Amino acid sequence: MGLLSFFNREVAMDLGTANSIVIYNDQVVIDEPSIVAYDRKMQKIVAVGEAAKRIEGKSKDIEVVRPLRGGVIADFEMAQHLIRELIGMTAANRSFLPPSLKMVICIPSGITNVEERAVRESAEQAGAKEIRMIHEPMAAAIGIGIDVLQPEGHMVVDIGGGTAEIAVISFGGIVCNTSIRIAGDVFNENVVEYMRRQHNMVIGIRTAEQVKIAVGAAVSELDEPPEDYLTHGRDQLTGLPKQISINYKEIAMALDRSIAQIEQAILDTLATTPPELAADIYKTGIYLAGGGALLRGLDQRIYSKTKLPVHIADDPLRAVARGTGIALKNFNKFSFLIR
């Protein structure tokens, strides 16, 4: 983990609903779940990230909070703590926090002015002096390796924990975009609901996420299917613990409606894309980023629906963070960065 030296006082942050990533000196130095564990009685933060996640549901006195919901700050105070702790972890020792911290932080494209101000104030409270913000789909495009300054249209679909963002980018700007609050968190809920309805089994959201990662799929026919996954939960009728083996086809069924809504949002965005850019996208295709891009067969499914080439970003969970890091290096050059 790098130390914030006196000479280098710049960090890039992807503050995601599910995961927060900090880039410092071109390296990912922090990649942690966006979770804060707070002791209400003592009024202090006891853990953030993975350490906070481990406490979830295990203690009576400690409240485990996810300060972001649907891609935006839902709990302002906790978000501030999260940002401050993340920067603190980067600096290793808080007392060395530089006086003029420069920061690029990404925000969802559908963010309201009030929400944008909340992010900015959180960063300021956490010690940032110079702040630029970048819209997530733009950061994703840069992180994927697209030359966003060229007058050529590209479509980016970033499916995170809280939001699916679909954007057409050309000539350093977002030409059209759609943001829907259907993404990883909703997929997890879909899995919980499916297990309850289909198997009379109650599972927690964390188990649902494990199931999704182990056997998640967007189509019911895969060339390389994953092995069935043994899922543990509680029988809804008897109340006793039980286990069931789950097949990927079941999860494809559980997620079907949510994925159909994302597909529809892609179609809607394509329908509002100016014709010259639509012609470009016919050639350049659709780029998938965010954790949702890892769903098996999602590329195949979007291809069937749109007949456009579909590419999955390298290391899709970190594409937005990579792009935010590149934006940091172009702090004054990229005119699309929000002051």
Ligand X SMILES: Nc1ncnc2c1ncn2[C@@H]1O[C@H](COP(=O)(O)OP(=O)(O)OP(=O)(O)O)[C@@H](O)[C@H]1O
Positions in the binding site for ligand X (CB under 6 A): 16-19, 71, 160-163, 183-185, 209, 212-213, 216, 290-292, 294-295, 317
Q: Residue 19 touches which of Mg ion, ligand X, none (CB < 5 to 8 A by kind)?
A: ligand X
Of 216 and 233, nearer to ligand X (C-beta) is 216
The amino acid at residue 238 is T
CB of 34 to Mg ion, least distance (A): 10
Cβ neighbourhood burial of 230 (10 Å; 0-12, 13-18, 19+): exposed
97 backbone φψ class: left, alpha, beta (φ>0; ψ -120 to 50): beta
What span, in angstroms and rounded, lies between the C-alpha atoms of 54 and 64? 10
Of 10 and 185, nearer to ligand X (C-beta) is 185
* DSSP one-letter string for 35-101: -EEEETTTTEEEEETHHHHHHTTT-SSEEEE--EETTEES-HHHHHHHHHHHHHHHHSSGGG--TTE
- Interface positions with Mg ion (CB under 5 A): 16, 160, 320
Of 120 and 212, nearer to ligand X (C-beta) is 212
CB of 291 to Mg ion, least distance (A): 8
CB of 24 to ligand X, least distance (A): 18
Q: Residue 212 touches which of ligand X, Mg ion, none (CB < 5 to 8 A by kind)?
A: ligand X
Q: Residue 251 touches which of ligand X, Mg ion, none (CB < 5 to 8 A by kind)?
A: none
Going from the C-alpha of 38 to that of each of 53, 92, 119, 133, the distances in angstroms are: 12, 20, 20, 28
CB of 158 to Mg ion, least distance (A): 6
List of residues 6+ apart from 339 with CB closer than 8 A: 132
Of 185 and 299, nearer to Mg ion (C-beta) is 185
CB of 177 to ligand X, least distance (A): 14
Q: Residue 321 touches which of Mg ion, ligand X, none (CB < 5 to 8 A by kind)?
A: none
Q: Residue 162 touches which of ligand X, Mg ion, none (CB < 5 to 8 A by kind)?
A: ligand X
Going from the C-alpha of 3 to that of each of 90, 130, 323, the distances in angstroms are: 6, 19, 21
